[in-house]
Structure 1
């Protein structure tokens, strides 16, 4: 049976900080992360999606968490084909054409920054979340394969925001061939159960069930408080994942006040009842 690790997509969301979930006196970055790590064994670092991290930052993440803690780290937006503001790029690369040469250089700097986390045994996986604009087909597969070849010796997970990928019987074998973990999702559009494509990891991301999932602001798209019944729907789906992988990561992205940490706590309790 796999280790099932539960956490949230980020630990510094402004709404979470305002919610009062952190104890009084935990206003600085070190105390917040240390407190978070006493409650959950897993966190998703989403800030690297918006800007390249530094090795100093990731080394501090490692230092402030205990052995066995895992960080799943989102890939920088340019690496997954998302729109990327010039200001998000390093100054010396802002005038460079948006091509594979630029992505190769960005990958090199991104990997260098995450090396302290990997060396410390804190890295769970890299999360490559591909946008709805990436539709299935040979060109898209080539784009993903190139990214995987750059990251050939790193753990690599893929989330598709375009549901057409899971309407094709090519997707699971494609990810298996890449040794890439398929990410399952929970949204207003339904529960997308992804197949097990690697023996070492399965990932489920709970985005909430807001009806504005596709059209609202960030806060509107992820505003949802999971009920115990909604989370219990996943229990029979998690069991097969745990039977076929070494680790299962369950991450809550319903970032409205303390809704994500509450849902993560409820899921922890539900699994303790069924997986003592």
Structure 2
């Protein structure tokens, strides 16, 4: 039996906290997470992209959420080839040259910090979102193989941000490679018709998880400010378009995580609430 879990890509976004979605008396760190977990069964942690997580924090997240709740954790920027400030590193790692030893230390810190979530059965997947300049080719394939080696035994999902990965020339190879490495392909919903638009491809490349991230359909996606990029309120018609894909994914994966990243005000939580009603919180028999 497969589960379709719907949530958002943050529960601490400033715009969400200012929107009034959190009730009075539940606006502290513990109250926010408990309120969120009362309403949704999964959330993405995006803060771990900007700074390495701490074990104590992950322990608190596990303690403040019920059994069955899932955290999808975004990989630290350095691990996906994004520019990373020295101040984003723990003090003991700052000032060290970028090289194999530093990468080994960062990987070890990342895994160790997340262990409380995994031990408590709260870890959904590790999300590796690669940059737009991460394009198909031997170098990128080797990076994916290294990622799979470093995360052996952990659930991992991969999101590409260059459309060539899913075009007619590369799509089959991409699906085969991720399947071979047991890495889940992340499907995305974004504005279409732009040079950088990602297609709404929804392959299932691992039987453990399938992930869909709804980024909104702003034409400023990939180029504008954060507010411009994510300013989109999904209509019921737009969400309904995805229902056949979601149910098809649920027939091939144990869990489908449907996450809304249009984090502008309360747009993401409202879209997630609507999508949860549309899918009926339904389990799909396989």
The TM-score, its normalising length taken from structure 2, stands at 0.94
Deviation (angstroms), 1:118: 0.3
Aligned equivalent of 1:18: 18
In structure 2, relative to structure 1, the CA distance for the partners of 1:99 and 1:144 (3 Å cut) is farther
**Alpha-carbon distance in 2 for matches of 1:273, 1:96:** 47
Aligned equivalent of 1:241: 249
Aligned equivalent of 1:265: 273
Q: Answer whether contact 1:231 1:267 (CA < 8 A) is retained.
A: yes
Q: Counterparts of 1:147-162 in structure 2 under 5 Å? A: 147-162=147-162
The TM-score, its normalising length taken from structure 1, stands at 0.97
Given the alignment of the two structures, is residue 172 of structure 1 paired with residue 175 of structure 2, yes or no? yes
Deviates more, 1:226-235 or 1:137-146: 137-146
Deviates more, 1:266-275 or 1:168-177: 266-275
Task: State the secondary structure of the residue aligned to 1:192.
Answer: coil
Aligned equivalent of 1:44: 44
Deviation (angstroms), 1:191: 4.8
Runs of 4+ aligned structure 1 residues displaced above 3 Å come to 273-276
Aligned equivalent of 1:203: 211
In structure 2, relative to structure 1, the CA distance for the partners of 1:273 and 1:23 (3 Å cut) is closer
Deviation (angstroms), 1:10: 0.7
Aligned equivalent of 1:71: 71
Task: State the secondary structure of the residue aligned to 2:251.
Answer: helix
CA RMSD of aligned residues (A): 1.4
Q: Answer whether contact 2:240 2:278 (CA < 8 A) is retained.
A: yes
**Alpha-carbon distance in 2 for matches of 1:20, 1:116:** 31
Deviation (angstroms), 1:194: 2.7
In structure 2, relative to structure 1, the CA distance for the partners of 1:226 and 1:152 (3 Å cut) is same
Aligned equivalent of 1:136: 136
2:224 to 196, 216, 221: 216
Q: Deviations over 1:176-196 (max 9, x none)?
A: 111100000000126522311
**Alpha-carbon distance in 2 for matches of 1:111, 1:214:** 29
**Alpha-carbon distance in 1 for matches of 2:91, 2:39:** 38
**Alpha-carbon distance in 2 for matches of 1:143, 1:246:** 26
Task: State the secondary structure of the residue aligned to 1:170.
Answer: helix
Q: Answer whether contact 2:166 2:201 (CA < 8 A) is retained.
A: no
Task: State the secondary structure of the residue aligned to 1:22.
Answer: coil
Deviates more, 1:155-164 or 1:93-102: 93-102
Gaps of 5+ in 2: 193-197
Deviation (angstroms), 1:100: 3.2
Q: Deviations over 1:236-273 (max 9, x none)?
A: 11111011111000000000000000000000111119
Q: Answer whether contact 2:166 2:199 (CA < 8 A) is retained.
A: no
Q: How many residues get paired?
A: 276
Deviation (angstroms), 1:96: 2.1
Q: Deviations over 1:150-203 (max 9, x none)?
A: 111111110001111112021011101111000000001265223110111100
Deviation (angstroms), 1:275: 6.8
Gaps of 5+ in 1: none
Aligned equivalent of 1:187: 190
Q: Deviations over 1:191-246 (max 9, x none)?
A: 52231101111000000001000210112111110000000000011111011111
